[in-house]
């Protein structure tokens, strides 16, 4: 079957089984390698993408439920308004091994876009579904604690 969706602003047509994972379609069919598979069972958050603006796990998302949806991956976030935040994420030590980074960036940006100055508690709640295997949460929190834009 064919599914029409919008990925990072571009309309795309994906052919596949209705129960194929969006994660695989992004990586194998659209060559968007930024979205990572961590656990593949909804535990780690590495494969987070935005669906109609809301963070979801692309490893748990079948294509049939992506029809007509707007998907934004880490590539889309990275080329948008998030650039100041991304630079700070790096300089504040938000990146260690990098496995969780794309998912954390996507989830964090979904938070900051609506709430440019989140409290520590709001950051914790937003990132509860993103595991950092290096346990590098301090740097991640530091970057988010400084808000959406450099001020």
Partner 1 sequence: MKAFAPRSLDEAMVRLTEDPDLRLLAGCTDLMVGEPEDRLGLPGVLDLRGLSELRRIEWHDDALEIGAVTPFSQIRDSPEVQKSFPALAEAASKIGGWQIQNRASLGGNMANASPAGDSLPVLLVLEAQVVLVGPEGTRTVPYREFHLGYRQTALGPGEIIGWVRLPKPPENAMQFFRKVGAREAQAISKVVVALLADVSDGRVSEYRLAAGSVAEVPLRLTEVEKAMVGRAAKAEIANLAGHLAAQAVRPIDDVRSTAEYRRFALEQVVRRMTLQLVRRVPE
The reply on whether position 67 binds partner 1 by CB under 8 A is: yes
The binder of partner 1 chosen from 9, 15, 17, 79 (CB under 8 A): 17
The reply on whether position 125 binds partner 1 by CB under 8 A is: yes
* Host H or E run for residue 76: helix 74-78
Distance CA 147, CA 117 (A): 5
Distance CA 128, CA 16 (A): 32
Name the residue nearer to partner 1 (CB basis): 80 or 129: 129
The reply on whether position 114 binds partner 1 by CB under 8 A is: no
The reply on whether position 73 binds partner 1 by CB under 8 A is: no
Pair type for strands 70-72 and 2-7: parallel
The reply on whether position 115 binds partner 1 by CB under 8 A is: no
Going edge to edge, which strands form the sheet with 10-15? 10-15, 2-7, 70-72, 48-51, 54-57
Positions that interact with partner 1 (CB under 8 A) = 1, 17-21, 41-43, 45, 48, 51, 54-57, 59-62, 64-65, 67, 107, 110, 125-131
């Amino acid at each position: 079957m064919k599914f029409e969706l919008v990925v990072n602003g571009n309309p795309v047509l994906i052919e596949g089984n209705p129960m194929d994972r969006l994660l695989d379609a992004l990586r194998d069919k659209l060559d968007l390698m930024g979205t990572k598979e961590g656990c593949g069972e909804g535990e780690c958050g590495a494969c987070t993408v935005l669906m109609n603006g809301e963070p979801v796990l692309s490893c748990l998302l079948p294509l049939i439920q992506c029809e007509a949806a707007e998907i934004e991956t880490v590539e889309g976030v990275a080329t948008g308004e998030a650039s100041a935040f991304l630079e700070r994420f790096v300089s504040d030590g938000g990146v260690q091994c990098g496995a969780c980074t794309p998912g954390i960036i996507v989830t964090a940006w979904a938070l900051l876009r609506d709430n440019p100055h989140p409290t520590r508690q709001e950051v914790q709640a937003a990132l509860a579904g993103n595991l950092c295997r290096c346990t590098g949460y301090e740097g991640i929190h530091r970057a988010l604690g400084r808000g959406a834009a450099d001020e």
